[in-house]
Amino acid sequence: MTDSLTLRRPDDWHLHLRDGAMLAAVLPESARHFARAIVMPNLVPPVVTAHDARAYRDRILAALPEGMAFTPLMTLYLTEKTEAQDVAAAHAEGLITAVKLYPAGATTNSAAGVRDFDKVRAVFEKMAEIGLPLCVHGEVTDPEVDIFDREAVFIDRVLDPVRRATPGLRVVMEHVTTSDAVAYVTSQDRDLAATITTHHLVINRNHILAGGIRPHYYCLPVAKRESHRLALRHAATSGDARFFLGTDSAPHTDPAKESACGCAGCFTAPNTLSILAHVFEEEGALSRLEGFTSLHGPAFYGLPPNDSRITLTRGDAVPCPAKIDTGEGPVTVFDPGFPLHWRVD
């Protein structure tokens, strides 16, 4: 049995850091283990211009504790008013690493997202021209579509037509949750990749609903059937470079999660690497963990892997706080439901 594993320092290709007091509290939990992260732009108001992205990046760096090294990779929130040349200028400046597409109403703070995809076609074409990736929340918001089918329907109705109409557009399907998405990614060319979250490798929809509603397992896209979870585990541990880690770690205070209309999101930043080591060990794939956490993502984004390393050691159960305190209130840490024996040294 392997008791020690050294990896290039990982990156997180989908992260919510929020702002203000919440940012100050959760940022160290990611910066402790991750060198870089694609930072989501769905603040209120959203990060829609280069000025917004620059100001948000500065707030993140100002909140970084002394002695911690962490690079926020900024994104712009795509709206129907986004100008292609503004996106190109922000990319040329080195300010942004991607553009984020939220279908309007799909998830937290997505009201300013896209309803009419024809209105953003020029932006897609410019992004294909300059090689700027599009990060996609892949769900339709049609109320007639069952919430458990929204990812599969999005692929057919939106994503595949957009990609066919825009050759060369590099797309990341974020937080995929279905075997349909896995099959689509593996059937396409190398301009398409997908991130997989930690929690979707661990939970299925029974964890949210069976035996009572467990709001701290509620996320969007919502966890699906067990067969889909197993498909995700196979993809993540397969060594296929089109799949890489995006935690979608999304902190909300306990009152916001436990209310009559609770917020979607799982806060996984503190224990993600311990959970992933457990999952990959179960699948007999510890040798592929570095690819998933540290190599595949940089390769897709055209960035070098990190030079620094981290070591995980297997031993006694690793303690993890149930909650962290923030200036906005307590935030519950994702509970995988099993003891964790891999510690990040």
Give catalytic residues, as residue numbers.
Answer: 248
Instruction: Please state the separation of Cα 34 from the chain's center in Å.
Output: 13
Contact by Cβ (8 Å): 216, 334: yes
Q: H/E/C letters for each residue in 22-43?
A: HHHHHHHHHHCCCCEEEECCCC
Alpha helix stretches (DSSP H) within 283-339: 289-290, 296-301
Rounded CA separation 247/65 (Å): 21
Rounded CA separation 310/272 (Å): 14
Question: Residue 200 is which amino acid?
Answer: H
Alpha helix stretches (DSSP H) within 32-154: 50-63, 84-92, 121-130, 150-154
CA distances from 223 to 142, 239, 277 (A): 19, 23, 21
Contact by Cβ (8 Å): 257, 263: yes
Coil/strand/helix, residue 93? coil
In the block, residue with structure tokens 């109705």 = 157
